[in-house]
Amino acid sequence: MVGLPDKPIPLTMSSQADTIRPALDWLTLLAVATVAHVAASVVHEGLGHGGACLLVGCRPQLLTTMQFRGDETNLSRTGVTFIAAGGTLANLLAAAVGAVSLRHRHERAKSGTFFLWLFTTINLLHATGYLAYSGVSSIGDWAEVGHGLAPRWLWRAALCLVGAGTYWLSTHWAMSQLGERLWYSGRSRVAEANRYTLTAYVVGGSLALLAGLFEPGGVLVVLISGVAASLGGTSALAWGPQLLHDPRLGEHRERSLNITRDWRWIVAGGVAAAVFVFVLGHGLAL
């Protein structure tokens, strides 16, 4: 942590434990971040693209950490478009469920609270970031959604504007929610926020790159989906805490995060990482 910490923010007397700076168990934090990233990836590829495939009568063929393939031979253009948009739509739906759950979670802010925040944030960043990514690069899901639309430049410009705008709003919301649950005030809460967000960012990037070693689609898929989605799409986890220099953003009103040793999360994180890298990394034939 850079510099001397600011004074802890005033807390209510409802819990004497809240007068003590929360401890942070790094192993549990890593595990929670792992589960959140794996869950968000499965939402996008499995529930999103895979679910859309089933709804339009497509036969699923392959599911990996970075792609979903189905037999689209006999599908209409509308069906193909729906499958392409399915990943983002599923991310948005998952984010909505996560945000509502987070809002109604009033008990002590432990690992489950951080999971809900991170899961919601990752889904928001994947969904909004993908719009901007497809607009800039003209590849990926939303380039496929706009296939055949003219003029092409207008579709790409719209994706860039909508994607960039909603990505910024998503980051602002996420940092506001996190700020409400931090222990320190002032400049020190930026350093505290970084403990959570940078750890989550590194975990997501590491999982994607490790799984990418086994990706059957080759290097191109890894670059498009792994690097772009995990390192680029969730980049707000790396720079977002800087927004908390603004004292008006995320004023403390919730119980402070208190992530302590929890073997349930640690076991779940280990299992999730193994399945993600060694099973879905190689690809699951359907």
Give domain limits for the chain. Answer: 37-285
For 146-162, the pLDDT digits (tens) are 988 889 999 999 999 99
For residue 19, the one-letter residue type is T
DSSP codes of every residue in 92-140: HHHHHHHHHHHHT--S---HHHHHHHHHHHHHHHHHHHHHHHHHHHS-S
Report d(CA 210, CA 261) in Å as an integer: 26
Q: What is the pLDDT of residues 92-140, one digit of tens each?
A: 999 999 999 998 876 667 899 999 999 999 999 999 999 998 999 888 8
- Given a cut of 70, is residue 74 above it in pLDDT? yes
Who wins on pLDDT, 134 or 17? 134
Between 228 and 36, the higher pLDDT residue: 36
**Residues 208, 231 contacting (CB under 8 angstroms):** yes
Residue 11 has pLDDT above 50, yes or no: no
Across all residues in the chain, what is the average pLDDT? 88
Quote the pLDDT of residue 140: 84
Q: Residue 219: exposed, middle, or buried by beta-carbon count in 10 A (0-12, 13-18, 19+)?
A: exposed
Q: Check pLDDT > 70 for residue 254.
A: no
pLDDT tens string 202-250: 999 999 989 988 888 777 777 666 667 677 889 999 999 999 999 889 8
Query: What is the model's pLDDT at position 137?
Result: 85
pLDDT over 70 (residue 19):
no
169-201 pLDDT, tens digit each: 999 999 999 999 998 887 789 999 999 999 999
pTM recorded for the entire structure: 0.89
More confident residue, 119 or 8: 119
The candidate with the shortest Cα–Cα distance to 84, out of 95, 94, 69, is 69
Q: Are 213 and 226 in contact (CB under 8 A)?
A: no
Show the DSSP H helices in 183-257 as ranges.
188-212, 219-221, 236-239
Task: Locate 204 and state its tokens.
Answer: 């997501």
Residue 84 pLDDT class (50, 70, 90 cuts)? very high
Q: Is the pLDDT of residue 16 over 60?
A: no
Residue 99: per-residue pLDDT: 96
